[in-house]
Chain A
Amino acid sequence: MKRYLFRQKTSKYASMKSKIDDGSKELNKHMKRRNIISARGQEEIAGFVAIVLIVSVIIIIFIGASLNNKSYDRKNLLLTHYIQSLGQVTTECASYGSSYRDVADLIRDCHNGRRCSSGENSCFVLNSTLDAIVNDTLTYGINHSRKGYIFLAAYKYGVQEERILAKSFGNCSGEYSKAEMTFADLPGIITFSVQECY
């Protein structure tokens, strides 16, 4: 009886041991599979990161190229000739006898607060003359290649800068080219510029 009981116990232990062995084998297998899956997952992540990096580098190159292509503040010879010729145009403002002031003189007069011999404000005459000239000589608008123009006149003396005129025609929000002319208004200088917007 004792022997029988002992045998039963040992067989029980044996079966339990085999079960434990099986379990540990399963665990090992599971662990191995998990390791393989995690390694594969790591590879996928590395691939994904590489692709993201390549794409972002390409996007950066594109942005750089397109920004470089915009060429803001491009010099425009035709516009330079326009502003130079505009400065020479004789206005209806007379001062010092019969001498009629040109646009450049009128900007100077406007800065110095001089009046025309007719009593009109030189700044007012300058504004109306510029309006008339732009309307007759330049075409701009949404349906045109030129979207608008900005005219600026500023007095500069050392670090001091004073705006004399700022006139905007049409819409100026995108690419543009600029031209300017400079003339003396002692002790400083006056810069008269035009910005052509596309």
Chain B
Amino acid sequence: MTGLAVRYSRAQLKIQEMAFVIVAIMIFFFIAGIFMLNLWSSGLKKDVEMQRIEKSSEIALKIADSPELGWASSTGICENCIDLDKAFSLKERIALGSNYKDFWGTDIGSIRIQLLYPRKSGECTISNYPECKTITLFNKTEDFHYVGSYVALCRHDEKKGGYFRCELGKIEVSARGIE
């Protein structure tokens, strides 16, 4: 009887040992799974964010390349270049009541062009143009988030005998569906 009891308790100990190992392995795999899932989802989030930015900047560039804003010099059509004089005159026309607000689609809430280099400030008006920072073509709503892309802002500069000058800027668009 004593021998049987000893053998029985040893078997119990073995089963207990195995159970502990199985539980430990399960916990390890569970933690590892959570870690993997976290890694995978963070990568996915990054990809989605990247695609959203790329899509939004494509929309902004499509607007920038439209004939109403695009820059064409004697040397040819410039990619990602906005004619700042055209943009300013378009802003003035829209302000006078032209129906350009829905020209790029009803989903577009607002379009603005910002000069980044050289550093200037203020909204462009007839009195301060071109020594200003922002040209807001129209702003239908403040509800949407702005996204944009870098562009070259080109114009004819009357100084130093007159020449074509390009500066670095950004076109920003807010639209329904862009968050």
- Given A58-B32, A62-B32, A90-B167, residue A82 in contact with residue B150 (CB < 8 A): yes
Query: Are B36 and A85 in contact, CB atoms less than 8 angstroms apart?
Result: no
Out of B57, B119, B166, B167, name the residue touching A81 (CB < 8 Å): B57
Binds A, one of B77-85, B90-98, B101-109, B124-132: B77-85
Query: Are B57 and A77 in contact, CB atoms less than 8 angstroms apart?
Result: yes
Which of chain B's residues has its CB closest to A54's CB? B25
**What are the residues of chain B within 8 A of A100 when measuring CB–CB?**
163, 165
A132 to B39, CA, bound (A): 39
**What are the residues of chain B within 8 A of A65 when measuring CB–CB?**
36, 39-40
- Given A69-B39, A78-B53, A81-B61, residue A86 in contact with residue B168 (CB < 8 A): yes
Out of B50, B79, B160, name the residue touching A84 (CB < 8 Å): B79
Out of A98, A102, A132, A133, name the residue touching B161 (CB < 8 Å): A98
Out of A78, A99, A133, name the residue touching B149 (CB < 8 Å): A78
**What are the residues of chain B within 8 A of A58 when measuring CB–CB?**
32
**What are the residues of chain A within 8 A of B116 when measuring CB–CB?**
136-137
CB distance from A48 to the nearest CB of B (A): 11
CB distance from A73 to the nearest CB of B (A): 14
Which of chain B's residues has its CB closest to A58's CB? B32
Say if the beta carbon of B20 comes within 8 Å of chain A.
no
Say if the beta carbon of B87 comes within 8 Å of chain A.
no
**What are the residues of chain A within 8 A of B43 when measuring CB–CB?**
69
Query: Are A81 and B150 in contact, CB atoms less than 8 angstroms apart?
Result: yes
**What are the residues of chain A within 8 A of B79 when measuring CB–CB?**
84
A121 to B119, CA, bound (A): 24
- Given A69-B39, A136-B119, residue A85 in contact with residue B150 (CB < 8 A): yes
Say if the beta carbon of B154 comes within 8 Å of chain A.
yes
Say if the beta carbon of A52 comes within 8 Å of chain B.
no
CB distance from B86 to the nearest CB of A (A): 16
CB distance from B10 to the nearest CB of A (A): 11
Say if the beta carbon of A89 comes within 8 Å of chain B.
yes
A132 to B35, CA, bound (A): 44
**What are the residues of chain A within 8 A of B123 when measuring CB–CB?**
none
Query: Are B119 and A89 in contact, CB atoms less than 8 angstroms apart?
Result: no
CB distance from B79 to the nearest CB of A (A): 7
Say if the beta carbon of A66 comes within 8 Å of chain B.
yes
Say if the beta carbon of A88 comes within 8 Å of chain B.
yes
A85 to B165, CA, bound (A): 13
Say if the beta carbon of B151 comes within 8 Å of chain A.
yes
Out of A84, A94, A98, A137, name the residue touching B80 (CB < 8 Å): A84
CB distance from A74 to the nearest CB of B (A): 8
10 contacts between A and B (CB under 8 A): A62-B36, A69-B39, A74-B50, A77-B53, A81-B80, A88-B81, A88-B152, A89-B152, A137-B116, A137-B150
Residues of B that sit less than 8 Å from A by CB: 32, 35-36, 39-40, 42-43, 50, 53-54, 57-58, 61, 78-81, 116-119, 149-152, 154, 160-169
Q: A58-B32, A86-B150 are in contact. List 4 more A-B contacts (CB 8 A).
A: A77-B58, A78-B57, A84-B152, A88-B152
Instruction: Sort A-B residue pairs by CB-CB distance and give the 6 closest, nearest first.
Output: A88-B152, A82-B150, A137-B116, A136-B117, A85-B152, A81-B150
